[in-house]
Chains A and B, each alone.
Chain A
Amino acid sequence: MDRRRTFWLLLVPPAAWLAAFFILPLVLMALFSLRPDMKGGLLNFSSISLEQYAVLVTTPSYVRLLGISTAIALLVAAASTALAYPIAYFIAFRAGKRAVLYLLMLLVPFWTSYLLRVMAWKLVLGSNGVINSLLMTVGLRDEPLGLFLYSRTAVGLTLTYVWIPFAALPILAALQRIEAPIMEAAFDLGAGPLRRFWRVVLPLSLPGVAASFFMVFIPTVGEYVTPLLVGGSRGSLYGNIIQDFFTKAGNWPLGSALSMVMLAATVAWILLAARWGNIRQWLT
């Protein structure tokens, strides 16, 4: 009886909060994307049209930028997952008693400010940066070296760098679940180290690899901060046009349509991920 009343007490606050500040904004954004312009009040949804979506589809640069952002996110996710795998393997199988310490050392930079870490790379690679000023002080070069700052390559490299510690976590969790008897069985059946890895360890760790990949990929598709910091004018991504339409340009309906397309793309990827790794498993 009172368990039932407690149920409502537990249900209403989080459900109401999420409805008000997560669902309602997204619904509002969907409605906004159907407005032809900014005329009238903010809540004036009298004329509904697909004009913004038509603009989006017929503007090659938007479609291209979504493609580029997706491609960069795929590359960044693949690179950081691949680069994180040996790290996770090292911590799971080679670090022994120091595994916790090694993991902690990997995570400490992850706990520090994202903005600051990106800024730090800029200080290292910039034309007045650490590498160039060091080279010039030592006398190896007379003028600054044109390193890859202000480009999509810089954005991709920076993102890969910041994601590696994060990507190692799901892989590590998967590797730590592999039980010793399975490895011993493989050994007893005469599998060498490479074969043990290729036929036993790697297949068993694939759910972790998939989790890492998507945990990097999804936030990276919508990334707009890193391009602001190291991308320059040639390094913008899809997220940056959305940001521009909501801040500088003030074209909220078109910005909303662009956001809806990104949201739809993300949800599509999540459904794909849910088929691979069982999301239900994490929760219950």
Chain B
Amino acid sequence: MRYRRGWRPSGLGAYYLVLIVLLYVPILLLLLFSVNSNTALIFPLRGLTTEWYEAVLNTAGLLRAARNSLVVAAGSCLVATLLGTMTALLASRYSFRGKLALLGLAVLPLIVPFVVLGVSLLLLFSSLGLDRSLWTVGVAHTIVAVPYVLLIVVARLSEFDPALEEAAMDLGADYPTTLRRIVLPIIAPAMAAAALVAFTVSFDEFALALFLAGPDPTFPVYLFGQLRFANRLPIMIALAMAMMAITLILALLAERLRRSG
């Protein structure tokens, strides 16, 4: 019995390890080629360099695209967090007719194929005569981020005791005051975590942005356009690595906030 138990976990552990290696090898290779002094991404390595990271700082279009991604992610995460939290409050603190329909509507973007969502928004903006821009990308990102915010904040709202709110109202606070002074402070960590998730969703997003970005694109769209130019690849990888680090830090921060909440 003990012998068999000892053998089984190591088999599963080995499987886990193989998967981890497969997941990390391509990323480590990118990291390697971002500091290799060769424009072609081939072995043997030619030696350590920081020239690609320096080149990033001298490529205006690239920095502009990175800035655009930051702006769109920040804006859409703000709007999505507000709208998602409102929907979450409705979901857990009110009962009304059509509630299930509203909630279904709010999570549905999660399961509508992005290509469908992208082209339908393209149709809308074209029909309204609006040019494609960072705004149109940002609007699309709010729609796909709201479900995540909703699910994260609802989870927090269902955890804490409604008696706290009743107590506040018994003590004479009106409902908006109760929301502001009691509910919001309690769900704030969940909202922050949700905001960071919304940020990361937007920051990386490509399938929607390809349809909706104008001539001044976000980073993934810019990156896609540059993939044709093989000699610029190391610069792209260098910036992508830097942006990956940012996403990673944000994601870890979100996870920490969610756990502390």
Chain A residues engaging chain B, CB cutoff 8 angstroms = 2-3, 6-7, 10-11, 13-15, 17-18, 21-26, 28-29, 32, 42-43, 83, 86-87, 89-91, 94, 102, 104-109, 111-117, 119-121, 123-124, 128-130, 133-134, 137, 161, 164-165, 193, 218-219, 221-225, 239, 242-243, 246-247, 252, 255-256, 259, 262-263, 266, 270, 279-280, 282-284
Contact = CB atoms under 8 A, between A and B. Distances in A.
B60 interface: no
Contacts, number: 228
B143 A87 contact: no
Contacts of B3: none
Given A42-B126, A111-B200, A120-B27, A21 B143 contact: yes
Contact of A90 (B16, B117, B243): B16
B188 to A, nearest CB: 17
A10 B86 contact: yes
B106 interface: yes
A218 B111 contact: yes
Nearest to B113: A222
B116 A124 contact: no
B189 interface: no
Interface string B22-39: 111111011001000000
Binding site of B, secondary structure by majority: helix, strand, loop or mixed?
A: helix
Nearest to A282: B151
Contact of B16 (A87, A121, A193): A87
Nearest to B126: A42
B57 interface: no
A279 to B, nearest CB: 8
Contacts of B91: 283-284
B90 A13 contact: no
Contact of A221 (B24, B106, B113): B113
B240 A270 contact: no
Contact of A105 (B20, B22, B43, B126): B20
A259 B121 contact: no
A90 B96 CA distance: 43
B120 A242 contact: no
B26 A2 contact: no
Interface string B97-136: 0001011111111011111110111111011000000000
A41 B34 CA distance: 49
Contacts of B108: 22
Interface string B192-204: 0000000010001
Interface residues of B, number: 90
A255 B119 contact: yes
Contacts of B56: none
B160 interface: no
B176 to A, nearest CB: 6
A17 B244 contact: no
7 contacts: A6-B175, A14-B83, A22-B105, A87-B19, A90-B16, A218-B111, A219-B113
Contacts of B29: 120, 123-124, 130
A223 B86 CA distance: 31
A221 B116 CA distance: 11
Nearest to A245: B119
B220 to A, nearest CB: 5
A246 B211 contact: yes
B35 to A, nearest CB: 15
A22 B109 contact: yes
B206 interface: yes
Given A117-B26, A124-B26, A86 B12 contact: yes
A7 B97 CA distance: 12
A9 to B, nearest CB: 8
Given A15-B102, A130-B43, A283 B220 contact: no
Nearest to B176: A6
A222 B115 CA distance: 6
B33 A262 contact: no
A3 B165 CA distance: 12
A246 B23 CA distance: 34
